[in-house]
Amino acid sequence: MTLKPALLIATALLLSGCGYVGEPLPPLLRIPVPVTDLAAVQRGSRIVVQFTVPRLTTEGTVLRNPPQLDLRAGPGPNPFDAGAWAAHAKPLGEGPVEGGRARYEVPADAWAGREIVFGVRAVGSSGRDGGWSNFVVVAVVPPPQRPEDVRAEPVAEGVHLAWQGQTGLYRVFRRGPGEQSFNPAADATQPTWTDTATEYGKTYEYLVQRIVKTATGEAESEPSASVRVTPVDRFPPAVPTGLKAVAATTGIALAWERNGEPDFGGYRVYRAAPGAELKPIADTGQTPSYTDRTVEAGKVYRYAVSALDASGNESRPSDTVEVTAP
């Protein structure tokens, strides 16, 4: 039997692959990738658990729908076995998700004095999951005491913080100008700390947490109430030291030690004639010397020097020196 020409052409096209339908592709399983950044910390009487919700499947495609989150907590067997743990761990239900981050706040009282293992898995619409996340162990302790009565006071060095609390470890958080959130600024081992990285005229806000070391890391207190301060420069430079006076042919020459403040502005020279009070006679800029050419021969004069900063704050006068004009 011979094929007709039209049938021959159709057969050739099919065999050459034009319009050829191959084997059907397997359906996409749409299994979410595992969570890799599970984190948990005790904060006061709660355990705060956070992680990023998966957006991709194990096949590299974007999930059509958000996965169901299966977060569990319970004591871990020793040696640890994920299957044995999961069989007895308590499911914690769904938690709020914002910006792709899930955040749970779990009461800690039921687990006081024990080490609790947290794990989560993301379950796709097919009912399948990509496995458990990294596991996190939290040693639950009595809630650390919350710092109270936090006070912020401008001082010459910056901003000095003090609060009520037991001796121990504290973490200070600061929100500076233009910052949207609080950031860790320092750890302190006493209920006091001085922030030396501030600028006059700018507003800073602080809060403090008590930190307790545990067998598995750290436990935090509830954050203190925040306190806000705008430091203003009302602090004069140090009093000049080492003032010396020498009678010279052109008058009385004065010299003293140089100040080292970052905002130092200059010096002011004071003089007192016999029987009179000290009065300013000259500003010398940042030069630590001055020659008084307006003295009268044979008279005894007293001199002192003060320091000024860039904001005009003036120190008290230095110790006086006495000299007889030539």
The whole-angstrom separation of Cα 220 and Cα 134 is: 22
What is the DSSP track for 233-273? -----PPP---EEEEETTEEEEE-PPP--TTEEEEEEEEE-
Mean pLDDT by 10 residues, the chain (326 residues): 47 47 60 97 97 95 94 93 95 92 95 96 93 97 96 95 94 97 97 96 98 96 97 95 94 96 94 93 97 94 96 96 94
Three-state secondary structure call for residue 46: strand
- Per-residue pLDDT of 147-156, as tens digits, reads 999 999 999 8
- Per-residue pLDDT of 57-83, as tens digits, reads 999 999 999 999 999 999 998 899 999
pLDDT at 10: 46
pLDDT at 94: 84
Answering whether pTM is above 0.85, one says no
pLDDT at 288: 98
pLDDT at 166: 86
pLDDT at 7: 45
Structure tokens at 304: 């002192």
pLDDT at 212: 96
Radius of gyration of the chain from Cα atoms? 38
